[in-house]
Amino acid sequence: MLSEHIHQALHQVRELQANILEKQRFKGYSGRARAIAGTIAFGSTIVMSMSFYPSTVNAHLCGWLSILLFGLGLNYGSLIHWFLFDATVKRDARRLKPVIDGMPPLLVGGFLSLAMIQSEQYHYLFGIWFAMFGLANLASRHVLPKSIGWVGLFYVICGAVFILVPEILFLNPLPAGIVLLIGEWGGGGIIHCDGKLANALGQTSAIE
């Protein structure tokens, strides 16, 4: 009898933990979208490193702008699809608060990038991008799996290296592409596996 009560109490605790985790988790981001965007970014930097690609600042700025637009379209496109069509969201704008909370580092990164471009300090761009993107990932660790913080730290460290090592030139995009490939596959994998785990926990709770 006592063991049965203990089993029921443990089951209720597991359900409570699962419910709290479910409410805290933000599920608008797509792990697959991040991985695809990182792969396309890496492939684009390979193309930009080839001899036929113009070795000019303007050409590389256009290349990175294309990478940015593709990544934004893919990631935020999946986010919009989740917001509009996920039955659990009910198009409640409050569910988008984690997205808004992660925006300030990205906006600051955009402003700093414009300042560096205007002053022709192009070698700082990669470092700024990675550092600010890392801060955005760190800001998301409270609503995403905590391990996303390691991805944020990875980006911040890479950003510091790119800023402090002047030998890494803006016209050499491949190192930045490698960073994006590793970071986006890491972040995408964490988000994707967390979604799988949440589904598994939900099915287990339903069976029990």
- How confident is the model over 120-150, as pLDDT tens digits? 999 999 999 999 999 999 988 888 888 999 9
Integer angstrom CA distances of residue 119 from 43, 74, 122, 171, 176: 29, 31, 8, 17, 21
pLDDT of residue 33: 94
Domain tally, the chain: 1
Cα–Cα distance, 49 to 123 (Å, whole number):
16
The share of the chain scoring above pLDDT 70, in percent, equals 81
Q: Is the pLDDT of residue 203 over 50?
A: no
Domain span at residue 103? 2-207
Please, which residues have CB within 8 angstroms of residue 91's CB and are 6 or more apart in sequence?
83, 84
pLDDT of residue 194: 80
Cα–Cα distance, 192 to 175 (Å, whole number):
26
pLDDT of residue 202: 47
